[in-house]
């Protein structure tokens, strides 16, 4: 009894399963989308054949910390090396995984549509982009991933109201209209053009590259991030259209 207490204090508790999952957002075909992978179809494991967020067990031999574990999983699935990556939170309970008490550390990533090379051949699991409508996708997901995806979507929308996060969803160089469209795709509502431009330009976040992109109409100025790998900008107010 005494012995067990001492031993427990030293960390000899039954250990929960520890995983990391990544909610990878991007814009595909003008829609906010999330990357999902198909779970193995052999009936041994949990949720065979069901779509799930990419993720898996922490590999204590390879992963220095949780974030590099998330980076590794992102790289394995998409080939992307330096996305915007933010911790979303953790979900842990006795019931979320049929194999036992488990806790997952969830990150969310924003990547532009360019430069993504989905790993689908060989041993890699099938991976596809799903359009996000409302707070989730139309497919049933494994584990509690529906709830996690809803939380990620809410967090993304909330932050897009007052931050520059969508710059990570467009490729450089981009026009202000490109960026505005990214905002509108995530928020699922139109944004006023003049207010949008004032806000972004006065933030000093982007700088004109001096070049223009011509199409059928008036050519548009091209912009880049003023500082590569800079932290996102926080604006002092949310976008909040007047209720008529």
Partner DNA sequence: CTAGTAAGTCGCACAGTACAACTAATATGC
Partner DNA sequence: GCATATTAGTTGTACTGTGCGACTTACTAG
Residues forming the site for DNA (CB under 7 A): 175-177, 191-199, 202, 212, 214-221, 235-237, 239-242, 244
Name the active-site residue from 126, 171, 188, 211: 126
Do residues 165 and 231 lie in contact, with contact meaning Cβ atoms separated by under 8 Å?
no
Q: Should residue 91 be labelled a site residue for its own copies when binding is judged by CB under 8 A?
A: yes
d(CA 81, CA 43): 33
Give the bridge partners for 220, in sequence order. 213
CA distance 50 to 62: 27
By CB under 8 A, residue 89 contacts its own copies:
yes
In whole angstroms, the minimum distance from the beta carbon of 50 to DNA comes to: 40
Instruction: Judge whether 126 counts as a catalytic residue.
Output: yes
Cα(54)–Cα(25) distance, integer angstroms: 12
SS3 40: coil
Choose among DNA, its own copies, none what residue 194 binds, the Cβ cut-off being 5 to 8 Å by kind. DNA
The only residue of 41, 93, 120, 208 in contact with its own copies, by rule CB under 8 A: 93
Nearest approach, Cβ of 198 to DNA (angstroms)? 5
Q: How far is residue 35's CA from residue 24's CA, in Å, rounded to a whole number?
A: 6
> Minimum Å distance from CB 75 to its own copies?
19
- Residue selected from 41, 82, 87, 133 as contacting its own copies according to rule CB under 8 A: 87
Q: What is the DSSP letter of 126?
A: P
Q: What is the DSSP letter of 14?
A: P
Nearer to its own copies, 133 or 192 (CB): 192
Shortest reach from residue 208's CB to DNA, in Å: 8
Question: How many whole angstroms from its chain centre is CA 136?
Answer: 13
First-to-last alpha carbon distance for the chain, in angstroms, is: 69
For residue 242, give the DSSP letter. P
Q: Pull the structure tokens for residue 91.
A: 């979900």
Contacting range for its own copies; rule: CB under 8 A; set: 47-55, 99-107, 184-192, 218-226: 99-107
- Told to check if 139 binds its own copies by CB under 8 A, we report no
Q: Which two tokens stand for residue 197?
A: 């431009």
Q: Applying CB under 8 A, does 9 fall inside the site for its own copies?
A: yes
Pick 35 or 176: Cβ nearer DNA: 176
Q: Is 227 in the site for its own copies (CB under 8 A)?
A: no
Beta-bridge mates of residue 129: 35
Q: Considering only CA atoms, which of 194, 132, 25 is closest in space to residue 180?
A: 194
Give the residue ranges of DSSP H helices in 79-172: 145-160
Residue 44 is a binding residue for its own copies (CB under 8 A): yes
Q: Cite the active site residues.
A: 126
> In the complex, which residues of this chain contact its own copies (CB under 8 A)?
6, 8-11, 13-18, 40, 44-45, 57-61, 63-66, 87, 89-94, 97, 99-101, 103, 105, 236-238, 240
């Amino acid at each position: 009894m005494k012995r067990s207490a001492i031993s427990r204090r030293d960390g000899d508790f039954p250990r929960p399963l520890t995983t990391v999952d990544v909610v990878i957002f991007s814009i595909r075909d003008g829609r906010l989308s999330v990357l999902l992978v198909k779970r193995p179809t052999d009936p041994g494991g949990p949720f065979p054949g069901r779509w799930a967020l990419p993720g898996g067990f922490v590999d204590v031999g390879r992963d220095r910390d949780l974030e590099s574990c998330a980076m590794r999983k992102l790289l394995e699935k998409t080939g992307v090396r330096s996305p915007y990556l933010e911790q979303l939170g953790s979900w842990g309970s006795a019931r979320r995984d049929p194999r036992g008490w488990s806790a997952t550390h969830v990150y969310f990533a924003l990547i532009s549509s360019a430069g993504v090379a989905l790993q689908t051949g060989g041993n890699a699991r099938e991976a596809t982009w799903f359009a996000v409508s409302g707070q989730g996708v139309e497919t049933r997901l494994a584990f509690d991933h529906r709830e996690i995806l809803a939380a990620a979507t809410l967090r993304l929308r909330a932050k897009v109201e007052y931050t520059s996060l969508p710059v990570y969803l467009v490729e450089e160089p981009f026009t202000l209209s490109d960026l505005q469209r990214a905002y509108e795709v995530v928020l699922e509502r139109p944004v006023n053009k003049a207010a949008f431009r004032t806000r972004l330009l006065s933030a000093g976040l982007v700088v004109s590259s001096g070049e223009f992109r011509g199409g059928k109409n008036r050519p548009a100025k091209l912009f880049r991030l003023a500082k590569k790998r800079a932290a996102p900008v926080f604006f002092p107010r949310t976008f909040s259209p007047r209720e008529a």
